[in-house]
Amino acid sequence: MLQKKYQTTPTPMRFVSFIVLLATFCLQIEPVSGQVTRQPYVEERYSRSVRILQVELTDRYTIIDMQYGEPATQQMFRMQPFSTGGSIGFDPQSRLYKPGDTRHRFNFIKAEGIPESPASLKVRPGEVVRFKVYFERLDPGIEVFDLYEGRNPDQTEYWNFYGVHITNPARKKPVAKAPAPTKTPPPAKVQEPEPTPTPAEPPLLDKVPDELPVQEPEFITLAGTVFDAKTNKPLSARLYYREETDTLSLNTSSGKYRLGLNKTQRYTVGVQAKGYLNGSLLVSPADSAANPSLRHDFYLTPLAEGTSVTLNKIYFATSQYQLLSESFDELNGLVELLKENPGLKIRIEGHTDSVGDFEKNVELSRNRADAVRTYLIEKGIDTSRLEAKGYGPTRPVSKGNSEEERQKNRRVEFVILGT
């Protein structure tokens, strides 16, 4: 059809071939919107070994040009501990978000220059790898986004970027021009008859859909920084929490963190740093009732000889020394602290109030301290690192007689003997 259409106008074959080739080439080129942000400002990134070089927005994609490794440096990520090599890959479950709006995601499409996990590319220390990742096109007007690759388990460091600033202005809506007014003669007044009232019809019932729409879970953002309580300097730390049946963890080298939590669930978020006492935070749905984002900074106390720490969530039956299951989360945190700091030695101390027989209270406090020590030993802590002692009512922290004051005296503590 094309050749017959142009038979009346002689044209050199080379020129026709050139036109056909040019048209084919143009069809293969994807039209771009011309929105390229080079070296975008990034508020926070968890990995120091990968950076964003530029972000390009086309009609179909958000293309992120990235670089793993820095020249003349030895950056090794995604490798087994103590290995001499490393490997990298990009998780296809990655997605982009507008900060604070995790319900609307922009999904991963493909990668160029890097394999998709679980496949991987082996790299040598100091090697530089340039690659691109393609996501769904960000909506116009989103000029700050988060790249979330995954939560950080022990053996993998994901490349999460928060607060990536780009040029992506909102599209301007065309303003419709009002038609020019035309002069028309006023209509003649006609006397209309009075309308005849009609009986009211019963309202129609709304049809109930066969299937109700599935409500996606709402998320909140919990963000903050982990600090040294004495110097107020940010700490490299590990955060962990449970979501349904999974225990999830996140490593941060800068001290800054950001978590996406289900708004309808309760969480206990713990934080660990080598050489520091653990911290924790309880997050409940009521905390986020009117705010989609929460902020909490952790201040961790350095481990030092003589430091005393109260274990507030250790529970026993009344006048008994068998540990209740509600105590296990607190004790498991102490186990992790001891494993993270193999030189740490502690003395576990049991305390009671002054109600009842003095000798029986001393014996009860000693048995409770021994129960905690036994639990730690069963979890793999060497006996030489643990002491246990019961003080009964001899070291009260409160001298009041109310039940609330006596409750403060019924406690289990540990004292650092050496680090």
pLDDT digits (tens, 9 = 90+) for 283-342: 886 666 667 788 999 999 999 999 999 998 899 988 899 999 999 988 988 998 999 889
Together in a domain, 298 and 313:
no
Same-domain pairing of 295 and 323: no
Mark whether 81 and 52 lie in a shared domain: yes
Would residue 27 count as lying in a domain?
no
Task: Report the distance separating Cα 46 and Cα 160, nearest Å.
Answer: 6
Phi-psi region of 39 (alpha: psi -120 to 50; beta: other; left: phi over 0): left
Tell me how many domains the chain contains.
3
Q: 340 and 320, same structural domain?
A: yes
| 234: containing domain | 218-302
Q: Are residues 286 and 404 in the same domain?
A: no
> Are 267 and 349 in the same domain?
no
Spatial distance between the Cα atoms of 335 and 381, rounded to a whole number of angstroms: 7
260 vs 102: CA distance, rounded Å: 8
Give domain status of residue 179, yes or no: no
Both 249 and 358 in one domain: the answer is no
Instruction: Give domain status of residue 10, yes or no.
Output: no
Question: So what's the pLDDT on residue 283?
Answer: 85
Question: Are residues 272 and 363 part of one domain?
Answer: no
- pLDDT per position as a tens digit, 187-226: 666 565 566 565 555 554 444 455 555 444 567 788 999 9
Q: Are residues 330 and 262 part of one domain?
A: no
CA distance 144 to 125: 33
Q: pTM above 0.75?
A: no
CATH of residue 53's domain is 2.60.40
Same domain, 352 and 419: yes
